[in-house]
A and B are shown apart, each in its own frame.
Chain A
Amino acid sequence: MSDTYYDLMRRQGISRRSFLKFCSLTAASLGLGAGGAEAIAQAMQTKTRTPVIWLHGLECTCCTESFIRSAHPLAKDVVLSMLSLDYDDTLMAAAGHQAEQALEDTIKKYKGNYILAVEGNPPLADDGVYCIPGGKPFVEKLRRVAKDAKAIVSWGSCASWGCVQAAKPNPTQATPVHKVITDKPIIKVPGCPPIAEVMTGVVTYILTFDRLPDLDAQGRPKMFYSQRVHDKCYRRPHFDAGQFVEKFDDAGARMGYCLYKVGCKGPVTYNACSTVRWNEGLSFPIQSGHGCIGCSEDGFWDKGSFYDHLTTIKVPGIAGAEGTADKIGLTVLAAAGAAVAAHAAVTAIKQARSTGRNDKVSEVEK
């Protein structure tokens, strides 16, 4: 198959005008600067198509749901037409043996050239029996498809970090992709789900430029994940002013104050929500009055309440004892204060009983 993306799109009935629109929108959302749109258009007209295989492990399919709602409808059409051609259990037309056959064909035909997109993750406990697509443990399928892939995209917090199925105590031993596949470049696109435009942006970048975007130290594309939600949050002036919502129905909430004190995790969450937003850029959680729950960060289920920005810590050795650092710290300080007071009292008594204060000081004032 020597089709370019452009050929493909034209065959889908997309006009050249729409195609160029797509290129400039994508260039803008990737932050590519002046020549970006041209570069994308150029690449899409000359490069042959890179096939994508999209696998689903232990997951809720929210990533796919998000993906197909990409704000720029064109982007969705384009990317989907690139993807569905190969393999995606959820979106492809084929089913059953036919589908598995398509997978085999793609692996064989594009050996070492295709991109593997993984949604969800493999559970490793009991030989992986807790996730069986096509009659075999998902982890086996993942390993087999990953072996000949050029690169892997970990969709969502499941594939990137583990997410809810890996929350403590993680009975099925759900494990993020990078801990199972260690010999391939992996790009993480976390979020529960990730933002649609972030997903299409990342795919478009990889497919058109034939290389992975710049990643941060934790493997996420810098263009979308380099800043915290907090850094671009429109409620930030209230944070800096010290104006906080105390309760969800108070005056501060009505005035749009900062949600930090009702548990906003924006200051510890790397994601593009406050810039790209959701649902065609309509809004995002903070804008609708709820704090960020930190869905794109590792272990966001295990940090305690969504309504407390401090982590709930379990006190080691004491069953059932848990609290925030403040609660535990102040308790310890109070106990230490009491101990100090007791020690001081005993010292004072001993001192008074001995021959005199500061005994053996040469001269004692009478």
Chain B
Amino acid sequence: MQVDHVTGRVEGGPLVDTYVYEAPVRLWHWVTMLCVMALGVTGYLIGAPLPSIGGEAVDSFFFGWIRMIHETSGWVLAIAFLVRIYWAFVGNRSSRALFIVPFWSGKWWAGLFGDIRYYLFLKKHGDLWVGHNPLAQFAMFSMFMLGAVVLILTGFGLFAQQYPWGTTWMNLFGWVTVLLGEPQAVRTVHHVAMYYMLLFALIHTYMVFREDITRGSTVISTMINGIRMFKREPGA
């Protein structure tokens, strides 16, 4: 099987099942998915709290728990993201796809426009790829990766605001508040970025199911066992 080493496009030869997503990448993917789900639900509730619960305040820590789950999931997501960055240095080609988009490669751009035409039903067959196709990669990079960076930084910016200026957390992340001008702006950016991430999650979920069901290679099971299996010849 011939594979373009920059884009991962299958260019010919007999198809061979390929190990693309290494264990740390897969583990990171599912941990992140769970975190995003927890963060999305609790985050929305922090912005729009549920109806009040009765009784004495001293007997309840309901909203506190929601924030606790949110902050804990945020920490897990952030640490997993750091580990993921580390893995991009030591892992295989696909492990870097999230961070490095080959904008310099003509083949990549050709693949991107091919993908767009395919998904607009203007082209009958899409290409086969060992890793992400260029459109998917672009979405991973511009929506997931950049969105996650903004969410993590503003998230820690908000986390730090719980502590006084001049203490450790504010010294580390007070710059987020300074950069965006005032504390409420940090919240607004965080909030908008959440919807950006949820938009990604929606499209991503649809796409992986669609790919897996209708196209020539596995997608969902690839994120479980790491192996991309081909069901048919390219261009078929």
Contacts and interface: CB of A to CB of B under 8 A. Distances in A.
Is B truly associated with A? yes
B104 interface: no
Contact of A336 (B49, B62, B64, B203): B203
Nearest to B216: A360
A313 B166 contact: no
B195 A333 contact: yes
Interface in A336-366: 336-337, 340, 343-344, 346-347, 350-351, 358-361
A214 B165 CA distance: 11
A225 B49 contact: no
A328 B214 CA distance: 33
Given A226-B166, A325-B188, A336-B199, A217 B183 contact: no
B152 to A, nearest CB: 18
Given A326-B191, A358-B231, A241 B53 contact: yes
A333 B199 contact: yes
A261 B51 CA distance: 10
Contacts of A252: 52
Which of B175, B177, B182, B216 has the largest number of chain A CB atoms within 10 A?
A: B182
Nearest to A261: B49
B214 A241 contact: no
A242 B210 contact: no
B13 interface: no
B202 A333 contact: yes
A278 interface: no
A261 B45 CA distance: 11
A268 B186 CA distance: 9
A218 B186 CA distance: 15
Given A326-B47, A360-B216, A361-B232, A242 B202 contact: no
B52 A265 contact: no
Given A310-B47, A325-B192, A347-B214, A218 B52 contact: no
Contact of B62 (A228, A241, A297): A241
Interface string B23-55: 000000000000000000000100111111110
Given A299-B182, A326-B47, A239 B63 contact: yes
Given A329-B198, A332-B199, A226 B192 contact: no
A332 B231 contact: no
Given A222-B165, A299-B182, A344-B206, A242 B188 contact: no
B161 interface: yes
Given A214-B166, A216-B166, A265-B184, A240 B63 contact: yes
A133 B64 CA distance: 52
Given A239-B63, A329-B198, A336-B203, A217 B165 contact: yes
Contacts of B44: 326
Contact of A325 (B64, B121, B195): B195
Q: Quick one: which of A325, A328, A332, A344 has the most chain B CB within 10 A? A: A325
Contact of A257 (B52, B164, B187, B232): B52
Interface string A16-37: 0000000000000000000000
Contacts of A216: 165-166, 170, 174
A358 B61 CA distance: 52
A227 interface: yes
A311 B61 CA distance: 27
Interface string A285-321: 0000000001001110001000000110100000000
B60 interface: yes
A241 B60 contact: yes
A299 B181 contact: yes
B58 interface: yes
A295 to B, nearest CB: 12
Q: Which 5 A/B pairs are nearest by Cβ-Cβ distance? A: A329-B195, A242-B63, A216-B165, A242-B62, A325-B191
Interface of A: 214, 216-218, 222, 225-228, 231, 237-244, 246, 252, 257, 260-261, 265, 267-270, 294, 297-299, 303, 310-311, 313, 325-326, 328-330, 332-333, 336-337, 340, 343-344, 346-347, 350-351, 358-361
Given A216-B170, A217-B178, A325-B194, 5 more contacts: A217-B170, A217-B174, A330-B195, A337-B202, A360-B231
